[in-house]
């Protein structure tokens, strides 16, 4: 199965996930459904504990939901074995975490090449794409710098480049700008939105900050594990 051009890149249907059981059980997702088209960026907003990270974990194949199905790029993630889920993450998913994204003893470029090697991209293709991506994200000349030599904003840009080098079906970003000041955070969010659209990757951006969410095509609200589409979707 491969994704048709006008087919959703991400389709969640009736997904629920409860942590623990009995009196300590926490329903992190309740009957959540979500569709993201290729090249579309969806922002997920909501209070702490509303299930945003759980949502990304379910899409990214880190967590198997109790009920419901998750289909990404034509692959039914919820039907994969443990081993195949690692392979799925390596080939179809790009992750950008809040912080400590990069392997500290590898240079910016090597961090990208490591991801490409996990995905099984050929060396030549990986080198070419790494150079292009770093340049597009304004990191020309910083390829050989180690994460410790880069500013927070630069590190997040390298992380975005890394999340895209293997041409994933979906890019998942969990508060990628939370550790940056507003100015730099916004610049990073804008770059992320631009790359998602340009590369026709589906994007899910979790954020607390309405300003960051404004770069997205749509905003989805999470509350107590339920997702609701908001009316204030950004035009165009």
Interface with Mg ion (CB under 5 A): 53
Site for ligand ATP, residues 168 to 207, rule: CB under 6 A: none
Which tokens go with 209? 């900050």
For residue 136, what is the enclosing H or E element?
A: helix 123-136
Task: Please give the Cα distance from 159 to 36 (Å, whole number).
Answer: 22
Shortest separation between residue 165's beta carbon and another protein, angstroms: 11
Can you point out the beta strands (E) in the chain? 10-19, 26-36, 41-45, 67-72, 75-76, 93-96, 170-174, 202-206, 218-223, 226-229
Q: Are 101 and 179 in contact (CB under 8 A)?
A: no
Check: CB of residue 10 under 8 Å from CB of residue 204: yes
Binding of ligand ATP by 155 (CB under 6 A) = no
Q: Does 138 bind ligand ATP (CB under 6 A)?
A: no
CA distances from 91 to 87, 115, 163, 169 (A): 6, 9, 10, 8
Contact partner, 48, from Mg ion, another protein, ligand ATP, none, Cβ < 5-8 Å per class:
ligand ATP
Q: Residue 26 touches which of Mg ion, another protein, ligand ATP, none (CB < 5 to 8 A by kind)? A: ligand ATP
96 binds, among another protein, ligand ATP, Mg ion, none (CB under 5 to 8 A by kind): none
Choosing from 8, 43, 53, 176, the residue that interacts with ligand ATP (CB under 6 A) is 53
Q: Does 54 bind ligand ATP (CB under 6 A)?
A: yes
* Other residues' Cβ atoms within 10 Å of the Cβ of residue 21: 8
SS3 content of the chain, % helix, strand, coil (to 5): 40, 25, 40
Q: How many residues bind ligand ATP (CB under 6 A)?
A: 12
- Binding site residues, another protein, CB under 8 A: 53-54, 56-57, 60, 62-63, 83, 86-91, 93, 95, 97-101, 103, 105-106, 110, 113-115, 117-119, 174-175
Residue 88 binds which entry of Mg ion, another protein, ligand ATP, none, CB below 5-8 Å type-dependent: another protein
Question: Residue 185 binds which one of another protein, ligand ATP, Mg ion, none, with CB within 5 to 8 A depending on kind?
Answer: none
Contact string 23-52 vs ligand ATP (x = CB under 6 A): ---x-x-----------------x-xxxxx
Q: What radius of gyration do the chain's Cα atoms show? A: 17
Tokens of 37: 């088209």
CB nearer Mg ion, residue 53 or residue 155: 53
Interface with ligand ATP by CB under 6 A: which residues?
19-20, 26, 28, 46, 48-54
């Amino acid at each position: 199965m491969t994704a048709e051009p006008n087919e959703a890149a991400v389709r969640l249907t009736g997904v629920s996930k409860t942590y623990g059981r009995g009196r300590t059980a926490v329903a992190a997702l309740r009957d959540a459904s979500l569709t993201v088209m290729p090249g579309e960026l969806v922002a997920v907003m909501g209070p702490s504990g509303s299930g945003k990270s759980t949502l990304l974990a379910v899409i990214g194949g880190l967590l198997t939901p109790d009920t419901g199905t998750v289909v990404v790029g034509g692959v039914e993630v919820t039907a994969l074995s443990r081993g195949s889920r690692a392979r799925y993450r390596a080939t179809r998913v790009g992750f950008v975490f809040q912080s400590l994204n990069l392997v500290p003893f590898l240079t910016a470029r090597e961090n990208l090449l490591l991801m490409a090697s996990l995905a099984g991209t050929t060396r030549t293709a990986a080198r070419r794409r790494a150079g292009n991506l770093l340049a597009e994200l304004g990191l020309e000349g910083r390829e050989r710098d180690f994460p410790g030599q880069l500013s927070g904003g630069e590190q997040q840009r390298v992380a975005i480049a890394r999340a895209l080098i293997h041409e994933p079906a979906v890019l998942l970003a969990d508060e990628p700008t939370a550790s940056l000041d507003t100015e730099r955070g916004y610049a990073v969010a804008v770059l992320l939105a631009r790359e998602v659209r340009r590369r026709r990757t589906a994007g899910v951006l979790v954020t607390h900050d309405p300003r960051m969410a404004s770069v997205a095509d749509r905003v989805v609200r999470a509350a107590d594990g339920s997702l609701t589409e908001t009316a204030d979707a950004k035009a165009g």
